[in-house]
Amino acid sequence: MSSENEDDKMKWETLSSEYLYRRPWLTARKDVVRLPNGTIHNEYYVLEYPTWINVIALTPEGKFVMVKQYRHGLGIVGTELCAGVAEEGEEPLEAAKRELLEETGFGGGEWELNMVLSANPSSQNNLSYSYIARGVVPMTEQHLDETEDIKVEILSEDEVWDLLINDRMKQALMAAPLWKYFALTGKIRH
């Protein structure tokens, strides 16, 4: 393992930054950077996003509270974990609890951080926080934004496992936390 001092020597120096596009869900920035070997990279693009969250939500019976929705980028309908964006100043855990309640109507339970990932640390500046919420129960109706069309699905462990093992979950930031969950709960064996 390298030391922190060695890692610092590998960092790039930002010489300048220019914002090319700023919207609530996407900000694109062009940096000019100097690599440790002195090479200047005149066009390094970074996408800025807010903090993302997702939730492995489990009912008291051990069923998974999932959402089904259309994903325009791939043109597919997928079954996924409840997920969303932290609002400015909102802690990731609070965002996760809010999103679960808004998208599914489920809440309560015992919450723990499962993992923190980056979709692409090369060109994105945000992190995605994944939580496990055990013992969630129906508390309210869905409260969806006008651009959301989400169907709630309650799946068994075997049904969620089937999504993973048969390559039917395409969202990597949701598949990775589920793989970890199944590994730590003994579903995956050598």
CB atoms within 10 A of CB 91: 12
pLDDT at 147: 83
Domain count, the chain: 2
Structural domain harbouring 25: 4-48
Tell me how far apart the alpha carbons of residues 124 and 136 are, in angstroms, rounded to a whole number: 32
pLDDT above 80 for 189: no
Q: Residue 64: left if φ>0, alpha if ψ -120 to 50, beta else—which one?
A: beta
Q: Are residues 20 and 80 both part of a single domain? A: no
Three-state secondary structure string covering 22-79? EECCEEEEEEEEECCCCCEEEEEEEEECCCEEEEEEECCCCCEEEEEEEECCCCEEEE
Tell me how far apart the alpha carbons of residues 118 and 51 are, in angstroms, rounded to a whole number: 10
Of 189 and 166, more confident: 166
Mean pLDDT throughout 120-147?
94
Of 149 and 91, more confident: 91
Q: Are residues 57 and 84 both part of a single domain? A: yes
Let me know if residue 189 belongs to a domain: no
pLDDT at 187: 81
pLDDT at 1: 65
Rounded to two decimals, the pTM is 0.92
CA distances from 152 to 106, 143, 156 (A): 10, 12, 13
Q: Are residues 146 and 172 both part of a single domain? A: yes
Torsions phi, psi of 139, nearest 5? Answer: -125, -25
Q: Are residues 117 and 36 both part of a single domain? A: no
Q: CATH code at 157?
A: 3.90.79.10
Q: Are residues 74 and 164 both part of a single domain? A: yes
Least Cα distance to 131 among 80, 174, 187, 171 occurs for 174
Q: Are residues 164 and 84 both part of a single domain? A: yes
Would you call 3 exposed, middle or buried from its count of C-beta atoms within 10 A (0-12, 13-18, 19+)?
exposed
Mean pLDDT throughout 83-102?
96
pLDDT at 2: 64
What mean pLDDT, rounded, does the chain reach?
94
Q: Kindly report, residue by residue over 1-48, the tens digit of the pLDDT.
A: 667 788 899 999 999 999 999 998 789 999 999 999 999 999 999 999
Mean pLDDT throughout 158-172?
95
Q: Are residues 56 and 41 both part of a single domain? A: no
Q: Kindly report, residue by residue over 44-78, the tens digit of the pLDDT.
A: 999 999 999 999 999 999 999 999 999 999 999 99
